[in-house]
Structure 1
Amino acid sequence: MSVTEAPPLGELRALAPLHARAQGIPAARCRAVLSRIRTAYGDDADSWPAVWNRAGDALAARGHHLDAARHYALARFPSVDGPARERAQRLCVRSFDRWRATRPGIGRLEVEAPSGGGRFAAWTAGLSRQAPRPLILVCGGIVSVKEQWAPLLARAAALGTALAVTELPGVGENTLPYDTAAPAMIGALLDRLADSADVRRTHAIALSFGGHLALRAALEDRRLVGVSTVGAPVRHFFLDHDWRTGLPTTTAHTLRRLTGRPPAELGEWALTADELARLRDLPVTYVAALRDDIVPLSDAAALAADPAARRRFLVVDDEHGAPAHLARVRPLLLGSALRDLRVHPVRSAALCAVAGALRTRRGRVRT
């Protein structure tokens, strides 16, 4: 795919502060880095990946490995398309790995696809062979790397659950193909965790396209006892041609890079009426934004159509990802997970501490 088909620098500049704030990069720091960028792609010294990589290098040299990982995550944004962004992806993982080595209890797991078609990785916390805990599985969307979940991993003990954070196929370290068979990766991950977590009680906090993956996985894997999501495409995103023509360039471009197909050719990804009926008994918490320009409100309505279905909805006047309402959204997602997993007693102070740590990473995240 040529650079001319890719998101322009202006769109990346507009999105960068939102992703930077979501990862805890100060606004002034983000503006300083952006001021040195002249081109969106390539390996020139003033290109997007080169400038963000240098910022990450400087932090890594001073031993600030988590901050370095956050800058490398911006360097590879929105997806890996060449050597400079490949370097950023590699160093993002390496810097995060060095940070987590200083945090007891955060582990790494690598999973090979049963078919041999690729591999993916997960960062884990709260695992125990002696006393397996129910599992919260976390996954972002099409531009979200697993390393952004550091605050949640660092506070796993407060939740009283096991945690595993991973990525969609084609994102970060995940080399699986992003196709209709992709939801099987969730089952493969649960299989690997079966001796150190109570995977028979797994709740997925999965955002945007991660939510779609989790809902599809739940059709076949009854170990998923609940899904919490924000702005997940369900049905109409994949079927409404007029809606798709208005997608942001970053979303359309990245989705095509990951799937190898334009969004218009993903119609079979839509959940059918029969599949939605099969999910009737699955508790689903869905946050919808009135001004979402990526996922239509009709997708939330598709989940709500059956009055007997076990659904919880929060609709906010916001954009994709509900960035202005994170103080409500993140405790809602965590609380829904703990309730569905029947983790008792839920200490409100502990939950607030975890949600508060996540709220320090404010911003709009286009997943």
Structure 2
Amino acid sequence: MNELDELKRFVMAHAISQSLPADHYAPLLDRISTDTGDEPGSWAYEWVRAGTELDAAGEVLAACQFYNMGRFPFVDGPGRKRALARCTDAFDRWRQAEQPGIEAVRVRVGGVEVKVWSAGLSAAEPRPLLVMTGGIVSPKEQWGPVLPQIAAFGMASVVAELPGVGENPLLYDRDSWRLFPAILDAVADRARVAETYLLALSFSGHLAITAALHDPRIRGLVGNGPPIRDFFVDAAWQRRVPKVTRDTLAHLTGVPSDGVFDHVRDWALDEERLRALDVPFAAVTARRDEIIPPGDTALLKRCVRDLRLLEHDDVHGAPAHLTETRVWSLLAVQEMRPGADLRVKAALTGALAAARAEKVR
């Protein structure tokens, strides 16, 4: 069972990242009195009820995001299972009606089939590839709406989810980085996968670094709040990690919550591997991050040879700096690409300046 106050606090950051209006979700959170079950007043029920109202009003994508919050942080019973099913169904209906260019791709990872969403794939005119992944609580439908924008930048794109998240049936383990090469293999006939960039948020950034060390097709990385070393080995810090993070990791890895940090201890990236990273890495970090320790940012600064850093005075994921972070991250990808469209770079540069000017008003 999740601690309800902590759950409400953390879901607000995700609601902000999806641009959900506060006047929609604040009263909803007030109605929630229990984390368990699927009855009025329960977490899953209230989010699904609000999503159903939006669905009925024709706001299918907004409904999808409310359903997504209903399965947050992971499926642990019938209520959240119902919410996830509604989330994936609503996204499918939205993309068929509004964005038919978004298509499903089936990826084989160690003999297991994993579904991802894609856009801009073409055997006749293959483009460079951007693969985007969320963290340990973000299904692919949360970030899927960005696919058409990436296609407009002249890139093919894929949005996937970490093992154990959403519809991904894999177990989250130290070899989960293999998801990225498997995606590249699956779309190699429809994208220029030798020019691949990874936009890997939160915990998926850790896997993206490892994938780049193994797969030379990956030419650049963008991350936001990735765990690097201290998160995995610093016992004093681990005692401060929020319960929802620890329990989610336990769920995804298949180990008891009180044993999760012992289980992931050897996942830490050491200085030698970080110094071996030979592609650019653009990272967003937060000075008040309650999940990722400050030592991990310091380690990146010390060891990564081509590091482009955006530091915010914020909590994990920098929800108060959403627009700036999003534009900066997309611009970072274009700045890494040798053949990026100068008009796209100019537009993103202008959008970044506007976001920063708005922030200081």
Q: Give the alignment's TM-score, normalised by structure 1.
A: 0.90
RMSD value, Cα: 2.2
What SS class does the counterpart of residue 155 from structure 1 fall into?
A: helix
Offset of 1:131 from its aligned partner? 1.1
Q: Map 1:98-117 to 2 at 5 A.
A: 98-102=93-97, 103-113=99-109, 115-116=110-111
- In the other structure, the counterpart of 1:201 is 195
Q: 1:341 aligns with which of 324, 337, 342?
A: 337
Is the counterpart of residue 226 in structure 1 residue 224 in structure 2? no
Q: Map 1:18-97 to 2 at 5 A.
A: 18-97=13-92
Deviations 1:29-62 (A, max 9, x none): 1022223222111122321001111222222233
Is the counterpart of residue 128 in structure 1 residue 122 in structure 2? yes
Distance 2:177 2:102 in 1: 25
Offset of 1:78 from its aligned partner? 0.7
- In the other structure, the counterpart of 1:297 is 294
Offset of 1:344 from its aligned partner? 2.8
**Conservation of the 8 A alpha-carbon contact between 1:138 and 1:166:** yes
Offset of 1:354 from its aligned partner? 8.4
What SS class does the counterpart of residue 136 from structure 1 fall into?
A: strand
Letter in 2 for 1:331: V
Q: After alignment, is 30-39 or 220-229 more displaced?
A: 30-39
Q: Map 1:168-183 to 2 at 5 A.
A: 168-183=162-177
Letter in 2 for 1:301: A
Q: Alpha carbons of 1:316 and 1:36: their partners in 2 closer, same or farther (altered >3 Å)?
A: closer
- In the other structure, the counterpart of 1:265 is 263
Q: Alpha carbons of 1:290 and 1:93: their partners in 2 closer, same or farther (altered >3 Å)?
A: same
**Conservation of the 8 A alpha-carbon contact between 1:209 and 1:232:** yes
Letter in 1 for 2:348: L
Offset of 1:135 from its aligned partner? 0.8
Offset of 1:336 from its aligned partner? 1.6
What SS class does the counterpart of residue 39 from structure 1 fall into?
A: coil
Letter in 1 for 2:298: A
Distance 2:75 2:43 in 1: 12
Deviations 1:152-208 (A, max 9, x none): 213233311111111000001111110112111111111011011111111111011
Distance 2:94 2:134 in 1: 21
Letter in 2 for 1:218: A
Q: 2:247 aligns with which of 245, 253, 270?
A: 253
Distance 1:21 1:140 in 2: 15
Offset of 1:283 from its aligned partner? 0.8
Letter in 2 for 1:210: S
Distance 1:355 1:141 in 2: 24
**Conservation of the 8 A alpha-carbon contact between 1:139 and 1:205:** yes
Q: After alignment, is 185-194 or 58-67 more displaced?
A: 58-67
Unaligned segments of structure 2, at least 5 residues: none
**Conservation of the 8 A alpha-carbon contact between 1:244 and 1:264:** no
**Conservation of the 8 A alpha-carbon contact between 2:73 and 2:248:** yes
Q: 1:140 aligns with which of 134, 148, 159?
A: 134
Q: Map 1:270-281 to 2 at 5 A.
A: 270-279=268-277, 281=278
Offset of 1:338 from its aligned partner? 1.4
Q: Alpha carbons of 1:86 and 1:352: their partners in 2 closer, same or farther (altered >3 Å)?
A: farther
Q: Map 1:151-170 to 2 at 5 A.
A: 151-170=145-164
Letter in 2 for 1:106: I
Q: Compare relative contact order (CA 8 Å, sep 6+) and give the higher one, 1 or 2.
A: 1
Q: Alpha carbons of 1:152 and 1:349: their partners in 2 closer, same or farther (altered >3 Å)?
A: farther
Distance 1:312 1:289 in 2: 14
Letter in 2 for 1:66: L
Q: Alpha carbons of 1:124 and 1:110: their partners in 2 closer, same or farther (altered >3 Å)?
A: same
Distance 2:236 2:182 in 1: 36
- In the other structure, the counterpart of 2:281 is 284
Q: Percent identity?
A: 44
Distance 1:48 1:273 in 2: 42
Distance 2:157 2:347 in 1: 16
**Conservation of the 8 A alpha-carbon contact between 1:202 and 1:341:** no
**Conservation of the 8 A alpha-carbon contact between 1:159 and 1:351:** no
**Conservation of the 8 A alpha-carbon contact between 2:198 and 2:208:** yes
Distance 2:50 2:303 in 1: 50
- In the other structure, the counterpart of 1:236 is 230
Distance 1:342 1:124 in 2: 23
Letter in 2 for 1:203: Y
Q: Alpha carbons of 1:26 and 1:302: their partners in 2 closer, same or farther (altered >3 Å)?
A: same
Offset of 1:213 from its aligned partner? 1.0
**Conservation of the 8 A alpha-carbon contact between 1:133 and 1:161:** yes
Distance 1:354 1:61 in 2: 34
- In the other structure, the counterpart of 2:324 is 328
* Aligned pairs, number: 350
**Conservation of the 8 A alpha-carbon contact between 1:155 and 1:354:** no
